[in-house]
Amino acid sequence: MAFPVRKVHMTGIGGVGMSGVARMLLHEGVSVSGSDLVDGAVLDTLRGMGAYLSVSQAGENIPPDTEMLIISAAVRQDNPEVVEARRRGMEIIKYASALGLLMREKTGVAVSGTHGKTTTTAMLAVILTSAGMDPSFVVGATVPQLATSSREGAGDAFVVEACEYDRSFLNLHPQIAVINNIEEDHLDYYGGLEEIVEAFREFAGLLDRDGVLVGNAHDRNAMSVLSAARCRRLTFGAEVEADWQAVNLDCSDGAYCFDVMKDALMVGRMRLAIPGLHNVLNSLAAVAVADELGVDFVASARALEDFCGAERRFSIVGKAAGVTVIDDYAHHPTEIQVTLKAARDCYDSGRIWVVFQPHQYSRTRFFLKDFARSFAQVDRIIVPDIYFVRDSDRERKLVNARDLVTQMRGLGYHAEYIPEWRCIIDRIISQARPGDVVITMGAGNVNEVADALFERLEREAD
């Protein structure tokens, strides 16, 4: 890959996507400096690869001869590094634009959708790697089987997770694109569903006439976008008419085994190790794209038999004292519902606890009643404070975690507000019993509860 400049600074370099781009640039020989507000393993890895990093954000962090500033979508225009780069007349681009520049010389595959894009991207990266195609990829979470979230490969395929927030995905240059689903989300940026669908139409419009758009036959909005696309179109679905179909589904302990049909012809049977009907659809999307890239179904099915998911996607932290601890990234009502359905299918006898950390004040306010209704299958719900990101001070005054708990209790759910991690763990330890399942859920830092809870369960079991 030929990046247009040889010296960059990256503000917010510790994020999954930004650090992935940084690794690719370093691999290509680009000089990378950067900053973040929190130190940790990600920054240590980048330092080991030769990046010069600061755990602060200030104009003086940018080396004198830097040619370009790359910023994450969360970085504001009044950030001191952005202000300094503007003063110097440097080119300033967002993460997605950098990803688009890296994609130009490859066969780009962009996986989009309100839900499922991380898992689908990870599945495709695993399939292509297993098939010996040595793909480049950027996934929105670490993929344990690949031991990374990103890699620059020697092969022609470049697979990326394409986010619709801030219309970021419009900066990409794909030849193949996936739309898993389209729902209301990121309403701090979009004015409503119509505007979101229109953004996906623009995304589909990035494809040339010889490109391929792959869409979920179950999702009305995705099908609306596909119907207007000028490129070749493929659909996928379970027990519905589609180009790629899952039929004869059999569920055991939450995981599915099913036959796959392509163009109404049986191509083989697939068995997934990860639970949930939603993952059947994710796998069909990945298999359809892999087929377009030249990987036969048998090789794809074999790769996905061992696919263990992406980090924080129904990740089993461990089992101690008879209690199973799971961590999941779900932070939208639909994601919560399908995750809890999968959990109930896997663990149908014990009680299910959920520690749900709402993500963003604006999202919590927009979906307050939907969030409350999403926990019908849960026996005990604990809600800490809302995880703050991107919201204005005004938004923070309009809703709080207690409001969500009140909604849940109004539906008859056993829900309580507990703001402190230590107190949450104390409550679970004092009341959990063998056979129970505890799921920490949210896109913030609630995974810290899962790790600390499991450690304490282990100690008390000894």
Domain presence at residue 2: no
**Which residue among 11, 66, 114, 118 is the active-site one?**
118
Domain presence at residue 426: yes
**Higher pLDDT pick, 38 / 250:** 250
| CA 294/CA 89 separation, integer angstroms | 45
Would residue 376 be called left, alpha or beta, if left means φ above 0 and alpha means ψ between -120 and 50 degrees?
alpha
Q: Output the pLDDT for position 1.
A: 57
CATH number at residue 352: 3.90.190.20
Active site includes 195? Answer: no
Q: Output the pLDDT for position 393.
A: 87
| CA 127/CA 131 separation, integer angstroms | 6
Active site includes 364? Answer: no
Q: β-strands 323-328, 315-320: how paired?
A: antiparallel
Residues 334, 404: one domain? yes
pLDDT in tens, 364-382: 999 999 999 999 989 999 9
| CA 246/CA 336 separation, integer angstroms | 23
Residues 129, 231: one domain? yes
Domain presence at residue 444: yes
Active site includes 161? Answer: yes
Residues 86, 111: one domain? no
Query: C-alpha distances in angstroms, 311 versus 89, 199, 307, 308, 425?
Result: 39, 28, 12, 9, 22
Residues 177, 76: one domain? no
pLDDT in tens, 132-176: 999 999 999 999 999 999 998 999 999 999 999 989 999 999 999
Q: Which residue carries 């590094």 as its tokens?
A: 81
pLDDT in tens, 405-424: 999 999 999 999 999 999 99
Domain presence at residue 1: no
Confidence of residue 230 (pLDDT cuts 50, 70, 90): very high
Listed in sequence order, the DSSP H helices in 171-232 are 193-204, 220-228
Q: Answer yes or no: are the C-beta atoms of 125 and 137 closer than 8 Å.
A: yes
CATH number at residue 268: 3.40.1190.10
Residues 212, 358: one domain? no
Q: Output the pLDDT for position 85.
A: 97
| CA 14/CA 119 separation, integer angstroms | 21
Q: Answer yes or no: are the C-beta atoms of 300 and 291 closer than 8 Å.
A: yes
Q: Output the pLDDT for position 293.
A: 98
Report residue 159: phi and psi, to 5°: -105, 125
Residue 346: half-sphere exposure toward Cβ, Cα within 13 Å: 22
The domain boundary, picked from 33, 68, 95, lies at 95
Domain presence at residue 15: yes
pLDDT in tens, 317-353: 999 999 999 999 999 999 999 999 999 999 988 899 9
Residues 147, 225: one domain? yes
Domain presence at residue 100: no
Mean pLDDT, range 96-119, rounded to an integer? 93
Taking each helix axis from N to C end, the angle separating 16-27 and 95-103, rounded to the nearest 10 degrees, works out to: 40
Residues 321, 301: one domain? no
What range does the domain containing 21 cover? 7-95
**Which residue among 152, 161, 164, 184 is the active-site one?**
161
Residues 328, 274: one domain? no
Q: Output the pLDDT for position 389.
A: 85
Mean pLDDT, range 227-250, rounded to an integer? 96
Residues 163, 266: one domain? yes
Residues 120, 219: one domain? yes
- Tokens linked to 375: 């926990």
Residues 215, 298: one domain? yes
pLDDT in tens, 202-226: 999 999 999 999 999 999 999 999 9
Taking each helix axis from N to C end, the angle separating 333-346 and 277-292, rounded to the nearest 10 degrees, works out to: 110
Average pLDDT over the chain, rounded to whole? 94
pLDDT in tens, 192-203: 999 999 999 999
Residue 274: Cβ-neighbour burial (10 angstroms; 0-12, 13-18, 19+): buried
Q: Which residue carries 């499922």 as its tokens?
A: 116
**Which residue among 81, 94, 106, 117 is the active-site one?**
117
pLDDT in tens, 177-193: 999 999 999 988 899 99
Domain presence at residue 385: yes
